[in-house]
Amino acid sequence: MVESEIESEFLSTLLKCKPGDRLPSLTDLSEETGISVGKLREQMEVARTLGLVEASPRRGITRTDYRFLPAVRLSLLVALAIDRQHFDAFSSLRTHLEVAYWDEAVVLLTTDDIDHLQTLVRAAWDKLNQARVRIPYEEHRELHIAIFRRLNNPFVQGLLEAYWDAYEAVELNAYADYAYLQKVWQYHDAIVDAICRGRYAHGKQLLIEHMRLLDSRGVSSETRVDPAALAV
């Protein structure tokens, strides 16, 4: 049994609950399990870090849905704080993931999803065409995540979302040459157009070409990770 490999009384109790269920108080759990409240509180913090539980004085302790993101995000941000070059390795992983899952993901997109992608492209161009240019980072992140959102795979979803958290942590969202931004969104525009037309193979090729742009930015390896990004 997998559960027997999890050496945590709190997690064992938590995993017997469904998302949305409330757990007994730590005092009650302590009486049931014979484990001290202090030990259970430590174990609950692990569960909180994993994104499996929410706790508040008003609502008590509540089981949440499983997501891979909290665990991988924390590990990735620690890796970046140790060595900025880890971003390049994770960026390579993200590229391979998007290419590998492209064919599976794009056929799942609904009409509303495609409308959303087109709206993101228009919003990005609006920012870029203003007298005072604004970096369309939010649109960039959302466009890539939205393409793969229909995949029924929490691990792919978590890894792709963690990439964008890392992207922010190394401050790639803070500055970019205007010519670079234009090229990025020309690719995005063409990728979304290919999806709209059902030209998925062409869209995939454009995606691969687009991914190579990051390497051309020449981001300094001395870029620092903001310690605040490590807050859980």
pLDDT of 229 > 60? The answer is: no
Would you tell me the crossing angle of helices 69-82 and 37-49 to the nearest 10 degrees?
80
CA distance 212 to 180: 12
Q: Are residues 54 and 77 in the same domain?
A: no
Are residue 48 and residue 10 in the same domain, yes or no? yes
CATH number, position 106: 1.20.120.530
Written as six digits, the tokens of 112 are 């509303």
- φ, ψ for residue 23, nearest 5 deg: -95, 160
Q: Among 23, 45, 63, which residue terminates a domain? A: 63
For 21, which DSSP code?
A: P
pLDDT-based confidence at residue 180 (cuts at 50, 70, 90) = confident
CATH code, domain with 28: 1.10.10.10
Going from the C-alpha of 218 to that of each of 172, 176, 195, 223, the distances in angstroms are 11, 11, 30, 11
Residue 17: both structure tokens together: 């609950």
Looking at the fold, whether 59 and 73 belong to one and the same domain comes out as no
N- to C-terminal Cα separation, the chain: 30
- The answer to whether residue 221 scores a pLDDT higher than 70 is no
Q: Examine the domain organization and report whether 28 and 109 are in the same domain.
A: no
Whether residues 25 and 112 share a domain: the answer is no
Number of domains in the chain: 2
Distances in Å between the Cα of 211 and the Cα atoms of 126, 191, 207 are 23, 12, 6
* Residues 6 or more apart whose Cβ sits within 8 Å of residue 207: 98, 99, 102, 187, 191
Domain end among 45, 63, 81:
63
Q: Which two tokens stand for residue 84?
A: 């900025």
Q: Are 55 and 75 members of one domain? A: no
> Is the same domain home to 33 and 86?
no
For 97-156, write each residue's pLDDT tens digit: 999 999 999 999 999 999 999 999 999 999 999 988 899 999 999 999 999 999 999 999
Are residues 102 and 51 part of one domain?
no
Residue 4's pLDDT is 66
Let me know whether 49 and 101 are in one domain.
no
19-72 residue pLDDT tens: 999 999 999 999 988 999 999 999 999 999 999 999 888 888 999 999 999 999
Residue ending a domain, choose from 63, 93, 115: 63
Q: Domain range spanning residue 57?
A: 2-63
Q: Cα-flanking dihedrals φ and ψ of residue 63, to 5°? A: -75, 135
Does one domain contain both 133 and 218? yes
Neighbour-count burial of 98, counting CB atoms closer than 10 A to its CB (0-12 exposed, 13-18 middle, 19+ buried): buried
Judge if 75 and 44 occupy the same domain.
no
- Residues 35 and 147 reside in one and the same domain: no
Residue 54 main-chain phi, psi, to 5 deg:
-120, 145
Least confident of 35-44, 86-95, 192-201, 215-224: 215-224
Edge-to-edge order in the sheet of strand 53-56 = 22-23, 60-63, 53-56
